[in-house]
Amino acid sequence: MYKDTFRVLSKRLLKHISKEDRKHYLDQISTKLYESEWWKNSEVIAMTIAREIELSTLPIIEHGWKQGKQIVVPKCKPESHEMNFYIFTNQHELENVYLDLYEPKEDPNKLVKPSDIDLMVVPGLLFDHQGYRIGYGGGYYDRYLSKYHQSKISLAMEQQVVKHVPHDEYDLPVDAVITEKKIY
């Protein structure tokens, strides 16, 4: 499928960014995030646990904890391609699901509803100027975003932003993409 070609190319591009560069970009992007109204006005923030090739998210999560924010992270259900978010308070609560994928345990006491979340930081491989996104291909976020109505943004390196990415009728754009250079 046409989106898959973009996925292969984007992953290859991400793999070739050095650890040092990635760290440098993360510092600039997270500073922009913390200064934004999205971050400042949000108490409950949904984040993923980044994989090796992505911008690391643990420093942002820890910063949020320090500021008293509640961080929630997703657990995917591969049978239905749905996911749920769970309150995340401690790194040791995660389990290694598959290769470098970490998720929370399914604790019903920690489950949150879409309407409980103030800000969703949506992951992706490639983004465009309108906020359309090519993700990992499961449709997990597209499904969740169809029942989620608060703020949604993505964090990306400038190299992951292009003028236009293909999208289908079920693809929902994010409100903004924050890169080390600007906010789209």
Ligand X SMILES: Nc1ncnc2c1ncn2[C@@H]1O[C@H](COP(=O)(O)OP(=O)(O)OP(=O)(O)O)[C@@H](O)[C@H]1O
Question: Binding residue for ligand X (CB under 6 A) from 74, 104, 135, 173?
Answer: 135
**Positive or negative, the Cα torsion across 153, 158, 164, 165?**
negative
Q: How far is the CB of 124 from ligand X (least distance, A)?
A: 6
Taking the C-alpha atoms of residue 121 and residue 103, their distance in angstroms, rounded to an integer, is 16
The answer to whether residue 138 forms part of the interface with ligand X (CB under 6 A) is: yes
Q: How far is the CB of 94 from Mg ion (least distance, A)?
A: 25
How is residue 111 written in tokens?
């489950």
For residues 140 and 117, the answer to whether their CB atoms sit within 8 Å is: no
HSE-CB of 68 using CA atoms within 13 angstroms? 2
For residues 86 and 59, the answer to whether their CB atoms sit within 8 Å is: no
Q: How far is the CB of 5 from Mg ion (least distance, A)?
A: 15
Question: Binding residue for ligand X (CB under 6 A) from 82, 93, 116, 142?
Answer: 142
The answer to whether residue 171 forms part of the interface with ligand X (CB under 6 A) is: yes
How far from the centroid of its chain's Cα atoms is residue 79's Cα? Answer: 21
Question: Binding residue for ligand X (CB under 6 A) from 59, 114, 139, 166?
Answer: 139
The answer to whether residue 171 forms part of the interface with Mg ion (CB under 5 A) is: yes
Question: Binding residue for Mg ion (CB under 5 A) from 82, 116, 118, 142?
Answer: 142
